[in-house]
Amino acid sequence: MATNITWHPNLTHQERAQLRKQQGVTVWLTGLSASGKSTIACALEQSILNRGLNSYRLDGDNVRFGLNKDLGFSEQDRNENIRRISEVAKLFSDSCCVTVTSFISPYKADRNLARELHAKDNLPFVEVYIDVPIEVAEQRDPKGLYKKAREGIIKEFTGISAPYEAPENPEVHVKNHSGLSIEEAAEQIIDYLLEKKYIN
């Protein structure tokens, strides 16, 4: 770790929020592959933008085309993937953006790290569990990943050959397997953000 560096302070988050007339918050969607995270995140981002608020979505696949293209799917690489995204999400939120992330983020310790990074700077962090039983996710399997994992083609696949540690106390619990529409799932998250006055 570099030691010959200096932090250059600027506006506080509160000052920036007053100028932007919007506060920042990170909405962290977690769940199995094929649980609907990305689809719900897209609908959520659009709904927030439609309210005239600044929002940006960070997607698990998308960041691997650039920022995290050097990482694989070992436990160590997954840890680093989430560490980097946690830092990026914190920066977005500090800029008064409603940051929507959709990552499997299978390990509780990594999600707790993301929460702690935000808490350190007094930035709201909302964990959203997109809950789908493994059987349902495997039936959906739009990318054919579960099939490849069952065949041994994909190693260390979450839910099959690698663990998923479900959140115990998420701020929002979306049961995305009981006839809930994408719009209803996004609205459930919006309702929480409104209740907590993170958005208006």
| pLDDT digits 0-9 by tens, 64-104 | 888 888 888 888 888 898 899 999 999 999 999 999 999 99
Angle formed by the axes of helices 75-94 and 108-120, nearest 10°:
20
Is residue 36 over pLDDT 80?
yes
- The domain spanning residue 79 has which CATH number? 3.40.50.300
* Overall domain count for the chain: 1
Q: Which positions are catalytic?
A: 105
pLDDT of 41: 98
Instruction: Tell me whether residue 33 is in a domain.
Output: yes
Asked if residues 111 and 105 have their Cβ atoms less than 8 Å apart, the reply is yes
Instruction: Tell me whether residue 59 is in a domain.
Output: yes
Determine the structural domain holding residue 99 and report its residue range: 20-195
Angle at 101 between CA 145 and CA 146, to 5 degrees: 10
Q: Cβ neighbours of residue 195 under 8 Å, at least 6 residues apart?
A: none
| pLDDT digits 0-9 by tens, 105-156 | 999 999 999 999 999 999 999 999 999 999 998 898 888 888 888 888 988 8
Q: What is the DSSP string of 102-167?
A: E-----HHHHHHHHHHHHHTT--EEEEEEE--HHHHHHH-TTSHHHHHHTTSSSS-BTTTB-----
What's the mean per-residue pLDDT of the chain? 90
Instruction: Tell me whether residue 3 is in a domain.
Output: no
Asked if residues 136 and 179 have their Cβ atoms less than 8 Å apart, the reply is no
94 vs 16, more confident: 94
pLDDT of 90: 97
Asked if residues 117 and 86 have their Cβ atoms less than 8 Å apart, the reply is yes
- Tell me the chain's radius of gyration from C-alpha atoms: 17
Instruction: Tell me whether residue 96 is in a domain.
Output: yes
Instruction: Tell me whether residue 2 is in a domain.
Output: no
First to last CA, the chain: 40
pLDDT of 54: 96
Instruction: Tell me whether residue 112 is in a domain.
Output: yes
29: its two tokens:
């969607």
Q: Which of 3-12, 16-25, 112-121: highest mean pLDDT? A: 112-121
Instruction: Tell me whether residue 9 is in a domain.
Output: no
Asked if residues 5 and 150 have their Cβ atoms less than 8 Å apart, the reply is no
Instruction: Tell me whether residue 69 is in a domain.
Output: yes
Asked if residues 27 and 90 have their Cβ atoms less than 8 Å apart, the reply is no
- Give pTM, 2 decimals: 0.89
